[in-house]
Amino acid sequence: MRIHLTSVFVDDQDKALRFYTDVLGFVKKHDVPMGAEDRWLTVVSPESPEGVELLLEPDKHRAVKPYTTALVEDGIPATSFAVDDVRAEYDRLRGLGVRFTQEPLTMGPVTTAVLDDTCGNLIQIVHSG
C-alpha cells in the first residue's frame, strides 16, 4: 500500500494553482472540470511526476472553513513538504514574497519552517539530517 493522493482545501483554485506551481515549484498534473465552477486539480513534484498527487480541493463543504480556520489560528500546518534545505528554501520563498509564520527552527535532527499558502492553509517545510 502507498499514498496516491492527498489534498489541501483552498479558497480559490486558480490562485492556489498559481501559488503551488509558480511559487512552490510543483507541476500541474490534472485539471478536469467538475461542475460549473470546480475542477479536479492536482499538482505533483517535478522530481516525481508519477508520484503522490496533491489535490487543490475547493473549500466549499460547510465543515471546511471552521476546520481550516481553527488550524491556522492554532498555527497548525495542513500538510508538510520535504525539501533538501529548509533555510535555503526559506530564503528563496521569502525572496518571492511568501509570508512565514515560523522561521526555520532546528529540533534535534529536523529543521522546519511554516508558510502561509495564501489560500487558507499553513504549510510546513521540513528536512532532516
| Superfamily of structural domain 5-128 | 2,3-Dihydroxybiphenyl 1,2-Dioxygenase, domain 1 (3.10.180.10)
pLDDT at site 101: 98
Cell 500546518 found at = 77
Helix (H) or strand (E) holding 72: helix 64-73
Domain ranges of the chain: 5-128
Q: What is the pLDDT of residues 77-119, one digit of tens each?
A: 999 999 999 999 999 999 999 999 999 999 999 999 999 999 9
Confidence of residue 35 (pLDDT cuts 50, 70, 90): confident
Residues 125 and 74: their CA atoms lie apart, in Å, by 17
DSSP secondary structure, 9-46, as one string: EES-HHHHHHIIIIIT--EEEEEEEETTTEEEEEEE-T
Report the DSSP pairing between strands 122-128 and 79-82.
parallel
Q: What is the pLDDT of residues 45-88, one digit of tens each?
A: 999 999 999 999 999 999 999 999 999 999 999 999 999 999 99
Residues 10 and 29: their CA atoms lie apart, in Å, by 17
Confidence of residue 121 (pLDDT cuts 50, 70, 90): very high
pLDDT at site 106: 97
pLDDT at site 36: 87
pLDDT at site 4: 96
